[in-house]
């Protein structure tokens, strides 16, 4: 039976990968809703093969002169939820970037739909709250993030009680070999040159700082119900092994593949089937060596902040994400140096007293507080 799919963030890196996949795969899916923030032209192109799909511009308002009124777009964050309600998808692929993705994730889980989750910020901000929504409705979360999709695959058919620990791999990003003393002089364009993956700007900078991996530690904690001391991060330059699980009998199971986000997206969209797709497959003979290194905390201080937030719990993840969003934007605009990103986030976390969360309002209040604090830190840099 054809399943109904909503693609949120359709104009971004994840959204575009998903759309290209649909054009070439045998997946039996009908796209019923697509969203972008402001990029009308890209949304028009993305939705061309799906003329019946609802289209939403979350960053524009009704009456926007550049959007033809007769085209029937939804507008603003509320327009996205209304369009989801009307489109009634079975699956929602959430490829929105940043904290803005959480409301669509909440809608999906509260309505008992399957959430194919690229927007890791949803779990960073509101992990326990979203999991409780999913538990109430029986909704499922399938992780699109390549490391978590890898762990999900390694755990198929396994008992949770048999897990010793999991390993998330990290490429180290664009600056992994730049001498520490040169990091302060790095231009944003250099930090955006990821060696293995082609992704949106925020996550690419998050790879270079490893804030992205800090988020993934929190994401893994919520998805796989593991404490921080059983979630390990390894620097793996080749980005071929995406995740590994160590079991109590001494076996380690890993998932391997080329760095191509279409693979984990396809995994989630086809689940529980494997589906078939002609990926340019991974040839083990091409890789004479796969290397794993411990992460240097002097180079990647942001990683420890993820573990710290996991310990603090409550709204600490919201603060981590919001402060990083502001600091990363300031770096991209040339306002602060690269190493100040983690410093500012750490300062904001130091000033924060974690509180438990039970609603979206509490999550957004922490987000708002952290943005203000981060801006204050920027003013004093």
Helix, coil or strand: residue 7: strand
By CB atoms closer than 10 A (0-12, 13-18, 19+), residue 68 is exposed
Backbone angles phi, psi at 237, to 5 degrees: -65, -30
Is residue 13 close enough to count as binding ligand NAP by CB under 6 A? yes
Size of the chain in residues: 381
Contact 322, 344 (CB under 8 A): no
If one asks whether residue 15 binds ligand NAP (CB under 6 A), the answer comes out as: yes
Span from 35-43, 106-114, 158-166, 265-273 in contact with ligand NAP (CB under 6 A)? 35-43
Distance of closest approach, residue 1 Cβ to ligand NAP, in angstroms: 28
Q: Which stretch binds ligand NAP (CB under 6 A): 63-71, 112-120, 168-176, 311-319?
A: 112-120
Q: Does 195 bind ligand NAP (CB under 6 A)?
A: no
96 near ligand NAP, rule: CB under 6 A: yes
Q: How many chain residues are in contact with ligand NAP, going by CB under 6 A? A: 28
213 touches 303 (CB < 8 A): yes
Give the helix, strand, coil percentages of the chain, each rounded to 5: 50, 15, 35
* Residue 200 touching ligand NAP (CB under 6 A): yes
Using the contact rule CB under 6 A, the part of the chain among 119-127, 240-248, 320-328, 349-357 near ligand NAP is 119-127
Residues in 48-77 that interact with ligand NAP by CB under 6 A: 58-59
- Given the complex with ligand NAP, which of 197 and 247 has the nearer CB atom? 197
**Cα–Cα distance for residue pair 238/300, rounded to 1 Å:** 18
Residue 333 backbone phi and psi in degrees, to 5: -90, 5
Closest by CA to 170, choosing from 227, 219, 218, 241, is: 241
Residue 84 contacts ligand NAP per CB under 6 A: no
Q: Does 193 bind ligand NAP (CB under 6 A)?
A: no
Q: At what angle do helices 302-312 and 340-350 cross, to 10 degrees?
A: 20
Nearest partner of 10 among 41, 46, 49, judged by Cα: 46
34 strand-pairing partners: 7, 55
Q: Which is nearer to ligand NAP, 15 or 301 (CB)?
A: 15
User: Least distance (Å) from ligand NAP to the CB of residue 288?
Assistant: 26
Query: Can you tell me which of 109, 208, 217, 261 binds ligand NAP, judged by CB under 6 A?
Result: 261
- Does residue number 324 form part of the binding site for ligand NAP (CB under 6 A)? no
| Nearest distance in Å: CB 367, ligand NAP | 12
Question: Could you say whether residue 38 binds ligand NAP (CB under 6 A)?
Answer: yes
Told to check if 203 binds ligand NAP by CB under 6 A, we report: yes
CA distance 116 to 132: 17
Query: Closest separation between CB of residue 225 and ligand NAP, Å?
Result: 21
Distance of closest approach, residue 77 Cβ to ligand NAP, in angstroms: 7
- Tell me whether residue 355 is exposed, middle or buried, using C-beta atoms within 10 angstroms of its C-beta: 0 to 12, 13 to 18, 19 or more: middle
Given 36, 155, 174, 208, the residue binding ligand NAP (CB under 6 A): 36
Count other C-beta atoms under 10 Å from residue 286's C-beta.
9
Q: Taking CB under 6 A as the criterion, which residues in 141-170 touch ligand NAP?
A: 145
- CA-based nearest residue to 316, from 280, 350, 361, 360: 350
- Residues in contact with ligand NAP by the rule CB under 6 A: 9-15, 36-39, 42, 58-59, 95-97, 100, 118-121, 145, 197, 199-200, 203, 261
């Amino acid at each position: 039976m054809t399943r109904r799919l909503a693609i949120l963030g359709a104009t971004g890196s994840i959204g575009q990968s998903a759309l290209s996949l649909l054009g070439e795969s045998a997946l039996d899916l009908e796209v019923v809703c697509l969203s972008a923030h402001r990029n009308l032209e890209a949304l028009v192109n993305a939705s061309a093969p799906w003329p019946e799909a609802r289209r939403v511009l979350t960053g524009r308002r009704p009456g926007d002169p550049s959007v033809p009124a007769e085209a029937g777009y939804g507008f603003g964050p509320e327009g996205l939820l209304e369009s989801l309600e009307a489109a009634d998808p079975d699956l929602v692929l959430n490829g929105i970037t940043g904290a803005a993705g959480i409301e669509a994730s909440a809608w999906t889980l509260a309505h008992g739909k399957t959430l194919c989750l690229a927007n890791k910020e949803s779990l960073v901000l509101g992990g326990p709250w979203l999991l409780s929504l999913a538990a109430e409705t029986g909704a499922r979360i399938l992780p699109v993030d390549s490391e978590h999709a890898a762990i999900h695959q390694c755990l198929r058919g396994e008992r949770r009680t048999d897990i010793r620990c999991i390993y998330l791999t990290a490429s180290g990003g664009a600056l992994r070999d730049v001498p520490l003393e040169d990091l302060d002089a790095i231009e944003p364009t250099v930090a955006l040159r990821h060696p293995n993956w082609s992704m949106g700007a925020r996550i690419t900078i998050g790879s270079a700082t490893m804030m992205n991996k800090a988020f993934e530690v929190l994401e893994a904690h919520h998805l796989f119900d593991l404490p921080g001391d059983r979630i390990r991060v390894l620097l793996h330059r080749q980005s071929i092994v995406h995740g590994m699980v160590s079991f109590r009998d001494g076996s380690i199971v890993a998932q391997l593949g080329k760095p191509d986000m279409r693979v984990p997206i396809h995994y989630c969209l086809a689940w529980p089937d494997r589906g078939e797709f002609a990926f340019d497959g991974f040839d083990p003979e091409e890789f004479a060596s796969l290397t794993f290194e411990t992460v240097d905390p002097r180079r990647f201080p942001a990683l420890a902040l993820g573990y710290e937030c996991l310990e603090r719990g409550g709204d600490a993840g919201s603060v981590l994400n919001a402060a990083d969003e502001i600091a990363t934007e300031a770096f991209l605009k040339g306002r602060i140096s690269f190493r100040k990103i983690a410093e500012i986030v750490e300062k904001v976390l130091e000033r924060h007293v974690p509180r438990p969360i039970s609603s979206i309002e509490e999550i957004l209040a922490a987000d708002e507080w952290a943005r203000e604090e981060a801006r204050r830190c920027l003013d004093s840099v």
